[in-house]
Amino acid sequence: MKKIRTDILIIGMGGAAQLAALNAFDANPDLNIVIVTKALQGKGGCSRMVQGGFNVVLNSADSHEKHLRDTLKGGQYINNQELAKTLVEQATPTIKEMETRYGCFFDRYPDGTVHQKPFAGQSFDRTVHKGDLTGIEIISRTTEQIMKRDIRILEECRALDLLADTTGREIVGALCVDIKQGDFFVVEAAATLVATGGGPTSYRFFAPGPEKTLDGMGMLYRAGVRMVDMEMLQFHPTGLIVPGSVVAGSLLEEGLRGAGAYMLNSLGERYMQRYDPVKMERTTRDVMSRSSFLEMMAGRDCEHGGVDMMAAHLGAEFVEKNFPGMYTRCKLFGYDLARKPVPVSPAAHFMMGGAVIDTACHTSLERLFAAGEDAGGVHGANRLGGNGIADSCVYGRQAGKSMAQYLKQERGIPQADERQIEHLAANYLAPFARTSGPSPLTLRDELREMNWTHVGIARTEEKLQQAIDIIEKIHEEVLMVQLTGTGGRAYNMVWQDWIALFNMLDVSRMISASALQRQETRGAHFRLDYPKQDDRYGLFNIFLNRGANGKPILEKRPVALKYMRPTDVVN
């Protein structure tokens, strides 16, 4: 099997991965860095899809304290406050470096200062953006800088599993597959960063691109990394309804709601009057998603099965000028965002939970780092819009600097466990030898529907217990899949979908087990059988590790309220 040795292995190529590579290189240009990405460089991932913008304190009337308060309030105070504080404080120098060092250029006021727009859940208009195509600006510019520095990129290659040394305590790289050829290879590294982005495509409606399949979190879990708050899965309230299309769930960002767009049910009511009469449609994502879902459950859904988003009253010229990406996307599917209501539904969007990290992005295993959506703790129970790409860029920057510092002392690579490599490769090839078995595509659809109905926006103990049993049943069937007749291994997308199922299943295990443990409603976690938030009970985090049988072992710990408590917030 081909082996590549490097100082730093970065898995992923979104905002976190690219900022990490750039900062590690700029800290020490002698470092050998390898990026492994399933996509073509600069063309995949969730960062590129960001429409809204990047939350950052730039105005003298704003403050890091205000941004931190908004972030903790949005996260319902189960955030890791040290991580949240680092996010808001380091966002300021990060965005300035992105403009001055990497060439990102954001919208301006007439006086030349950076334009900042309103986003839901914020006490100050602090969202920096490039129209409604902010992610494309960031990823296009940082990709150029990666190429300028001649950092090695392995395109259309997939990391399958993290590799441990013979002690099992240190991560020494990853087993990968070249999607183009179907061949395995190993990257051995002195430091490894997992920054694949989350991508909960394991639901009926989902916002990320279909190539996002929770790979990083699955790999982290199987490697034994400590995880946190996996019950906290954010549903974006306005995913586009496009029947029969893989782009169903594509987002209409909340900048629209911030500008004054509103939501209607089948009766033509602005139903947010029932759920948040003060903030209305500018409420946080968890409240907005839940409200739409409850309207749909109550039979007030529109004929398309969801609810309507109305922006026409803002004026067609205003919508077309200020939201060109969303307007064009809607037009592609026969909807006129500028003049008529558009059908939307909540869509699985973002994982607030993930690997436990410190502010330097170290995980619980030696030599292993995580950043962006693969890491947990920053956002608590609910991520504010605009804090996602900020998290990716800030903690990508932190990870790059941290790995460069780490490698001042640790440039050697311990010996990988060769038996682990052989065992993994054999398991990934096993379906090609079977002559009968279920279809991975059927099993994937079954998992998506089960997650939507049992582990989705509204949860109950009964449904979660059923989900845990169904997940194990699907896992048993996934182990019996046969791929005979699907062609060779080169560009075999059915094989790739089967591989993705293991990551989807492992993350579904974590979500359902954690959700069962939190017997209250908090942020994105809504329990129909425990519909109230209870701060006397619920100010804890749920940590977990993979048990020997593959199932999660869970532990609750009180939140460290280091900087702010719920009583510090004036409503």
Percent over 70 (pLDDT), the chain: 99
Specify the pLDDT at position 247.
72
Mean pLDDT over 293-313 rounds to 93
Q: Is the pLDDT of residue 559 over 90?
A: yes
Q: Is the pLDDT of residue 431 over 90?
A: yes
- pTM of structure: 0.94
* Domain boundaries defined on the chain: 238-347, 418-541
Specify the pLDDT at position 254.
79
Which of 129, 226, 257, 397 is catalytic? The answer is 257
3-state SS, one letter per residue, for 508-521: HHHHHHHHHHCCCC
Residue 249 C-beta-side C-alpha neighbours within 13 Å: 21
Tokens coding 407: 């490698």
CA-to-CA separations, 210 to 44, 249, 251, 327, 493, in angstroms, rounded: 10, 11, 14, 22, 12
Q: Please name which of 174, 219, 225, 194 lies closest in space to residue 413, comparing C-alpha atoms.
A: 174
3-state SS, one letter per residue, for 46-68: CHHHCCCCEECCCCCCCCHHHHH
Would residue 236 show up in a list of annotated catalytic residues for this protein?
yes
The answer as to CATH 3.90.700.10 being correct for domain 238-347 is yes
Give the tens place of pLDDT for each residue, 9-32.
Answer: 999 999 999 999 999 999 999 999
Residues paired with 555 in a beta bridge: 543
Residue 142 C-beta-side C-alpha neighbours within 13 Å: 30
Are residues 394 and 90 in contact, defined by beta-carbon separation less than 8 angstroms?
yes
Which of 48, 236, 454, 518 is catalytic? The answer is 236
Q: How far is CA 7 from the centre of its chain?
A: 26
Specify the pLDDT at position 205.
84
Mean pLDDT over 501-523 rounds to 98
Q: How far is CA 446 from the centre of its chain?
A: 22
Give the tens place of pLDDT for each residue, 155-195.
Answer: 999 999 999 999 888 999 999 999 999 999 999 999 999 99
Specify the pLDDT at position 417.
93
Q: How confident is the model at residue 558 (pLDDT cuts 50, 70, 90)?
A: very high
Q: Is the pLDDT of residue 571 over 60?
A: no
Q: Where are the alpha helices (DSSP H) in 414-492?
A: 418-429, 440-454, 461-478
Q: Is 166 exposed, middle or buried (0-12, 13-18, 19+ CB in 10 A)?
A: middle
Q: How far is CA 70 from the centre of its chain?
A: 20
Give the tens place of pLDDT for each residue, 541-555.
Answer: 999 999 999 999 999
Would residue 475 show up in a list of annotated catalytic residues for this protein?
no
Give the tens place of pLDDT for each residue, 368-383.
Answer: 999 999 999 999 999 9
The helix or strand, by DSSP H or E, that contains position 480, with its residue range, turns out to be none
Q: Which CATH number fits domain 418-541: 3.40.640.10, 1.20.58.100, 3.30.160.340, 3.40.50.300?
A: 1.20.58.100
Specify the pLDDT at position 374.
98
Q: Is the pLDDT of residue 330 over 50?
A: yes
Residues paired with 239 in a beta bridge: 251, 345
Q: Do domains 238-347 and 418-541 have the same CATH topology?
A: no
Least confident of 55-59, 83-87, 208-212, 427-431: 208-212
Specify the pLDDT at position 568.
63
Average model confidence (pLDDT) for the chain? 94
Q: Is the pLDDT of residue 450 over 60?
A: yes
